[in-house]
Structure 1
């Protein structure tokens, strides 16, 4: 007797699952549901970020002190190379604080992007084992970088307070960093998706960010430099569209008294537009590949 099931006995598993309200565990959830799932994992995101910070510096004798020493040492090298040897500090009040502001702000975005681009690839075993919103991983990497940025800003406040004096303007750093964090979240989600399917992106990003570093006015004042070169005003407008230049400018004008006369035009508007567009676009871009992460 044949054991083969006849057509009448064939079970339509898809119809059966649909009838009982079952769905594929790997299926991409609706956008609203995905946001609710992420909010439900907020404690995991914070805990994962803390654990990663601890693991990152566990083997170093100075531990987490390196999260402040690294950008400070970079700033010292650039101060010698650009400020002293190339003379870019000439005409800039409190150039040390000016340079450190730029380095801290740029490093926050740079590390969020480069570390976030590997966030899924380095946790592929976790992704293939457990079901959870994949965006929790790149978001945790940004939270980790935000924690380091807050420590760096505390050092910067102390330095500026000693060299330039405290002021109520410092409160404007909060919305500036909030917008930069939104921008960083979007960029990290974009590169997290790209880095999952194009592994070479992690090798390319250092060259991209290094070029971005030199074009963002970290070592010099963009308006002053262009005025010295007798460049037309529209050139300043174009360069000010660089999001990192806008975030650096907002932090500088909040902390440094003399920077107000050399601020970039429309920096607040530019920073806000970049923050919203990149965050929304990056989140949707990442979510659309949710059911593809961990395959292969």
Structure 2
């Protein structure tokens, strides 16, 4: 009598693994399941962002004061160069231009630091990625959350500057909450997009400072786009005003600064802010998720 063939004869490795209930380590789960797992790691995301925030300036003598001092010093430098030497505040009184500038610097810094930390979220944490199994989106999300917490500390100084220039709290200040919520969604999506790109191309981190500097100059941080482009074609001013960084800065200025009215906003500013937030947040999340199983490999 001939011997029976082994039960696994003729099966591929994948078929054999499936028969015994084995799955690829780090395989990408379906999108709804991935969202559920990410929500299950919400406490880790919050704790990780807080730890990163606390450690950011741990070696500096002034410690966490640099969270506020850095954007404030940047605003002071920009005021000396653009406000005093180049008259970038033309058409605005000093009481309006100073809070205009400081608000722009603080709000743009929120997006800038979210992007810069996002591009290194995977490539700069490979030890963690390779050692533990968790949804990799937790890293760029936690970095965006870290930058939101840092901005909230900075907002205290921003409020003092705005009040010192004569813009006192009123009902328009309630708009700060939806503006920050929409910008946070946008920044998180941007961090997710750049995290995937940075994981594949680490050199992107070296290019990003130049990209962000160009974006800053094109977003009206130091000057009013409608005033400076008054003699240019309208489509050029529209393109600059419709870019998300400019939209969120203008909405925050509108909320905070007395004398900065709706005439300074692009048409349908709130629709633009919401559209950018949804497009980049949802698109960035799906884009990041599609490469989930490739992070930390190779």
What range is the shorter-chain TM-score in? Answer: over 0.9
Q: CA deviation at 1:9?
A: 4.7
Structure 1: distance between partners of 2:15 and 2:238: 59
Q: CA deviation at 1:20?
A: 5.0
Cα pair distance change 1:83/1:18, threshold 3 Å: same
Q: Which residue among 193, 196, 199 is the counterpart of 1:193?
A: 196
Look up the SS of the partner of 1:257 in the other structure.
coil
- 1:152 is aligned to 154
- 1:203 is aligned to 206
Q: CA deviation at 1:19?
A: 4.0
Deviation string, structure 1 residues 98-142 (Cα, Å, up to 9, x no partner)? 001100111000110111111111111111111110011111111
Q: CA deviation at 1:238?
A: 2.2
- 1:239 is aligned to 240
Matched, 1:120 2:122: yes
Structure 1: distance between partners of 2:124 and 2:234: 46
Matched, 1:62 2:62: yes
Cα pair distance change 1:87/1:17, threshold 3 Å: same
- 1:248 is aligned to 249
Say if 1:240 and 1:267, in contact at 8 Å, map to a contact too: no
Structure 1: distance between partners of 2:216 and 2:8: 63
Q: CA deviation at 1:219?
A: 0.8
Look up the SS of the partner of 1:258 in the other structure.
coil
Matched, 1:280 2:277: no
Deviating more after overlay: 137-146 vs 254-263: 254-263
Say if 2:104 and 2:249, in contact at 8 Å, map to a contact too: yes
- Work out the number of aligned pairs and report it: 290
Matched, 1:10 2:11: no
Say if 2:250 and 2:264, in contact at 8 Å, map to a contact too: no
- 1:111 is aligned to 113
Q: TM-score, normalised by structure 2?
A: 0.93
- 1:225 is aligned to 228
Say if 1:224 and 1:262, in contact at 8 Å, map to a contact too: no
Cα pair distance change 1:15/1:249, threshold 3 Å: same
Q: TM-score, normalised by structure 1?
A: 0.93
Q: CA deviation at 1:16?
A: 4.9
- 1:97 is aligned to 99
Which ranges of 4 or more aligned residues in structure 1 deviate by more than 6 Å?
none
Structure 1, unaligned runs of 5 or more: none
Structure 1: distance between partners of 2:81 and 2:156: 26
How well do the aligned residues superpose, as a CA RMSD in angstroms?
1.7
Deviation string, structure 1 residues 18-71 (Cα, Å, up to 9, x no partner)? 345442231100000000000000000010011111111111111111011000
Q: CA deviation at 1:225?
A: 1.7
Cα pair distance change 1:78/1:291, threshold 3 Å: same
Say if 1:160 and 1:166, in contact at 8 Å, map to a contact too: no
- 2:141 is aligned to 139
Q: CA deviation at 1:206?
A: 0.3
Look up the SS of the partner of 1:259 in the other structure.
coil
Structure 2: distance between partners of 1:288 and 1:259: 43
Structure 2: distance between partners of 1:189 and 1:129: 21
- 2:175 is aligned to 172
Structure 2, unaligned runs of 5 or more: none
